[in-house]
Amino acid sequence: MVAAGYSTDRDHLHYFDPVVEEVARRIAKIYPGQDVNIVDESWDRRYYLIHVSSDRDAGEYIRYDAEKGSLQRLAFAHPQLAERTLYPMRPIRYPARDGASIPGYLTLPESAVAGGGPAVILPHGGPESRDYWGYDWLVQYLASKGYAVLQINYRGSAGFGSQWLGEGGFRDWRTTVDDITDGARYLVEANLADADRMCIVGWSYGGYAALLSAVEEPERYRCAISIAGVTDLPMLIDDSREFSGWKRQRERIGRNPQTLRQGSPARRADEFQAPVLLFHGDDDLNVDISHSRKMHKELRDSGKSVELVEYEGVEHSIRKSSYRRDMLARMGAFLDEHTKPVLAAH
């Protein structure tokens, strides 16, 4: 063991190995403001493989020669982005309705103006996860399209202590949705977003939170996008029966009938007002594609605006490049369609 990592608004490392710490210190002086991640070292501790990146830099891999003090660039993580303008991710905090201070990150596009433009609320997955400062391909795509992007470490997120985690984002989904709603309200009140040009997008649990938010706040969001999202809590419990963590999953979600019903977007399809776009891979082992298929059917049967895009042969992360390109193109067109400037009535 050479170091222990922890995160506040930024990632930090506490080193136990003075040699590795000195290497990291030297590299950090050369790349100020960037995250320095020492990936590997040679057995004789002369050469180090290092990845450096930031919120505005997808990163590069370098080899450091500790004997000569020299650096050799090996490769960019995403060469196509090397000359592109990326946007800063700023740590923020905003007040929740009960007085709690909610941490998150705000990325503003170049076109951001006082009075606010279009915005995307982007809740993270998990829910026992969190957002981190750094390069995020989805955030940067949305910002490049002109959207302010708010990422929220709502209550139910991991990394902030057991009290913040609470009963979790499924059993206590209302607190999570309230924190997300308060974040959307904060953007408007701070003149960072136009209240009439806001959508919500999420992946996995984030997709679940996006759909629930669209139900709970029907007037707030012009559209909702769920990628590989949970839509039915009893179904999620049943899905886990063939896995070793079934009992843990059942405890995680709980058995309260009202929570299971009210916390399942697919069971509240008739309450939707915003158009919905769904994406899912048909080999998803984390959240079965049946969740999006059920959501699609229930919304369609209720006469709501909905589209489901299925990707063949991919799992939860939808890593295939052609699928991601297609997904971003469809997402961008959908967001643009529903966040066009609202013309004042004459």
Query: Is the CB of residue 101 less than 8 Å from the CB of residue 87?
Result: no
Q: Which of 79, 109, 128 is the last residue of a domain?
A: 79
Residue 115, pLDDT score: 63
Average pLDDT (52-77) is 94
- pLDDT tops 60 at residue 344: no
Question: What 3 state SS string does 194-251 have?
Answer: EEEEEEEEEECHHHHHHHHHHHHCCCCCCEEEEECCCCCHHHHHHHHHHCCCHHHHHH
Q: Is residue 239 situated within a structural domain?
A: yes
In a domain, 344, yes or no: no
What average pLDDT does the segment 82-89 reach?
A: 89
CB neighbour class for 98 (10 Å; exposed up to 12, middle 13-18, buried from 19): exposed
The rounded Cα 275 to chain-centroid distance in angstroms is 20
Given 26, 60, 79, the domain boundary residue is 79
Same domain, yes or no, for 201 and 142? yes
Work out the pLDDT band at 249, boundaries 50, 70, 90: confident
Do residues 61 and 101 both lie within one domain? no
Residue span of the structural domain in which 230 resides: 89-338
180 and 53 in a common domain = no
Residues 75 and 94 grouped into a single domain: no
112 and 255 in a single domain? The answer is: yes
Q: 261-318: per-residue pLDDT in tens?
A: 999 999 999 999 999 999 999 999 999 999 999 999 999 999 999 999 999 999 999 9
135 domain-assigned: yes
Least confident interval from 78-82, 192-196, 224-228, 317-321 = 78-82
pLDDT the model gives residue 286: 93
Mean pLDDT of 168-197: 95
Domain match, 47 and 95 both:
no
Whether 332 and 311 share a structural domain: yes
With cut-offs at 50, 70 and 90, classify the pLDDT of residue 243.
confident
Residue 310 is assigned to a structural domain of this protein:
yes
Q: Are residues 192 and 230 in the same domain?
A: yes
The reply to whether 59 and 164 lie within a common domain is no
Q: Are residue 110 and residue 176 in the same domain, yes or no? A: yes
For residue 342, what pLDDT is reported? Answer: 52
